[in-house]
Amino acid sequence: MTERLTGMFAALMTGLDDSGQFDAGRQRNLTAHVLKQGLAGLYVGGSSGESGLLDAAELAEQQEVVADCAKDSGAVLIAHVGMPNLRDSIRLAERAAELGYHALSALPPHSYPFSDAEIEAYYRDLAAATDLPMIVYEVPVRTGRPIALDALERILDLPNVAGIKFSSMDLFKLSMLRRRRPNSRYFFGYDEVYLSGAVLGADGGIGSTYNILGRLYVALNQAVREGDLPRAQELQDVSQIFVEALLKTGVLSGLKAAFRIQGVEVGRTRAPMALQMPDDAAEAHMRAVMDRPEVAAWL
């Protein structure tokens, strides 16, 4: 299965109803929209899916809805199962395996300042819970601190651990890790500088803005693989225009506004996450950037 863990994966967003509850119908519509964009697959239940604001039962329901939507699509499904406690993480991992997911991923344990040894033990136990390959996760913005390089090396050596989603701007660390563990899979997690991670050896990307601009990121990755640096730079510039607009609305809130502009109702983000400007202003702001010819060409 690990040979299919390459290319571009949307960090799938979550459909909520108008009261903020998980909405299976909206999740189906959202998922169908993203699946049309030619991506390698979907990363389900991660940070872009508001997993830190959902409970384990909601995430399990989302897993089921997405698996059903994608069953005939050929998409590779990675279930993010990283909860604050190991017990819920294992339950989500086992459910994903039952539903036919192809791989798992997980944030390191969070909510407390866990040691590197505790993080390593967490991944050892979680990776052993199923036969699915595990993509571990370096994301200091969520956990509050980076994992030490030597600890990441040990984690990548664990049974069933296939690779890492690297969401850090420490590109030297990414390069060192790739050189020291060349047989692992590397996914880069910062959409706006994906090109940097790709030229340093990333096998693909997992990103939130892929939900809207999936076709662009597929083309960007292809340009890198073909050695067409001017084309890759051109496409990365378009990505940055879109990401820069999102920074003014809040990334997830702005992406949900972008879905609404495209006629896909996915609800608002769950409290306490909120737009950084009023709804009407946010939609006008996102519509303006989506109407720009260089962006509109990829919608």
Catalytic residue numbers read 137, 165
Extract the tokens encoding 258: 């972008």
Distance between CA atoms of residues 51 and 92, nearest Å? 12
Q: Which residues are CB-contacts of 76 (< 8 A; sequence separation ≥ 6)?
A: 4, 5, 9, 40, 41, 42, 102, 103
3-state secondary structure 173-191: HHHHHHHHCCCCEEEECCH
Distance between CA atoms of residues 85 and 97, nearest Å? 19
CB 95 within 8 A of CB 63: yes
Q: Omega before 272 cis (within 30°)?
A: yes
Distances (CA, A) of 85 to 122, 127, 130, 233: 9, 14, 17, 41
State the DSSP code for 275: -
CB 139 within 8 A of CB 47: yes
State the DSSP code for 22: B
Residue 183: Cβ within 10 Å count: 8
Q: In sequence order, what E strands does 50-169 have?
A: 76-80, 103-105, 134-138, 161-166
User: Could you tell me which of 186, 189, 217 has the C-alpha nearest to residue 39?
Assistant: 217
Helix, strand or coil for residue 102? coil
